[in-house]
C-alpha cells in the first residue's frame, strides 16, 4: 500500500475546463467549486485540492484567499473564443498581486481548452504568450478528454521538482472536513 507523499493545496483554476470528469467535487465554497483529485506519482499518493472560479468576474473579490498557499495556478482559455485569451493578462496580474512572492513561487500552467472546436487562437500564439510569461502550456478538450490528465501531470511534476513549493502552505489546524468528520491535526499542510 502506498503512503501519502504529500498534498498539493490550492491549485487555482480560473475556468471550468477539466474537472468534472476527473475530479471529485466536494462542495460549493462561497460560489467557487472546491474539488479534490488523488494522483499516483512515483508510487506515492498525491492529493490535489483545486479551487475553480470558472472565470467568473464575481469571484474576483474573493481571490486573495484562493491564491494564498497555492503551489500551482492553472489559467484556462477557450481556443474558440479570443476574448478568453485576451483576458489572460488580467488573470495573470491577479496571480502576481495575490499569490506568494508575486507569482514567482508557484507553478503556472496555461491551458488552451476546447480543442475539439474550431479555433480562433492558434497553438503557436498561445505557446508564445505562455513562454513570454514563464508558464507551462498544454491544450485540452474536456469534451473528448484529450490532454486533461496532462494538465494535472504537468502541474504536479513541476511542483514535486521544487520541494520548497510543498512548504508554501501553513500547517493544517484541527478542523472539520467537508464530510463533517473531525480532522486530525498534524498530518500535512492545508489552505482551509
Residue 84 lies in a domain: yes
Residue 182 lies in a domain: no
CA angle 132, 35, 76 (to 5 degrees): 25
Q: How many domains does the chain have?
A: 1
Looking at the predicted structure, is the pLDDT value of residue 20 above 50? Answer: no
Segment 157-177 shows an average pLDDT of 59
Residue 85 lies in a domain: yes
Segment 127-146 shows an average pLDDT of 94
Burial environment of residue 106 by CB neighbours within 10 A (0 to 12, 13 to 18, 19 or more): buried
How far is the CA of 78 from the CAs of 31, 52, 122, 146, in angstroms? 22, 15, 11, 14
pLDDT of residue 60: 56
4 vs 128 pLDDT, higher one: 128
Residue 41 lies in a domain: yes
171 vs 94 pLDDT, higher one: 94
Residue 22 lies in a domain: yes
**Stated pTM of the model:** 0.69
Residue 189 lies in a domain: no
Residue 54 lies in a domain: yes
* CATH classification at residue 15: 3.40.50.300
The answer to whether residues 155 and 9 touch, using CB atoms and an 8 Å cutoff, is: no
Looking at the predicted structure, is the pLDDT value of residue 101 above 80? Answer: no
Residue 104 lies in a domain: yes
129 vs 23 pLDDT, higher one: 129
- Which residue range forms the structural domain that includes residue 78? 4-164
Amino acid at each position: 500500500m502506498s503512503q501519502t507523499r504529500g498534498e498539493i493545496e490550492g491549485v487555482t483554476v480560473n475556468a471550468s475546463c477539466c474537472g468534472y470528469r476527473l475530479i471529485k467535487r466536494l462542495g460549493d465554497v462561497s460560489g467557487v467549486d472546491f474539488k479534490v483529485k488523488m494522483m499516483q506519482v512515483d508510487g506515492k499518493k498525491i492529493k490535489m485540492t483545486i479551487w475553480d472560479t470558472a472565470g467568473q468576474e464575481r469571484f474576483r473579490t474573493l481571490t486573495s484567499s484562493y491564491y494564498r498557499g497555492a503551489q500551482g495556478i492553472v489559467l484556462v482559455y477557450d481556443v474558440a473564443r479570443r476574448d478568453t485569451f485576451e483576458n489572460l493578462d488580467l488573470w495573470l496580474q491577479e496571480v502576481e498581486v495575490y499569490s506568494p512572492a508575486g507569482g514567482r513561487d508557484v507553478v503556472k500552467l496555461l491551458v488552451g481548452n476546447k480543442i475539439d472546436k474550431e479555433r480562433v487562437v492558434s497553438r503557436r500564439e498561445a505557446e508564445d504568450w505562455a513562454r513570454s510569461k514563464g508558464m507551462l502550456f498544454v491544450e485540452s478538450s474536456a469534451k473528448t478528454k484529450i490532454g486533461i490528465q496532462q494538465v494535472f501531470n504537468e502541474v504536479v511534476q513541476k511542483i514535486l521538482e521544487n520541494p520548497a513549493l510543498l512548504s508554501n502552505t501553513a500547517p493544517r489546524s484541527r478542523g472539520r472536513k467537508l464530510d463533517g468528520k473531525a480532522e486530525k491535526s498534524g498530518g500535512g499542510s492545508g489552505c482551509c
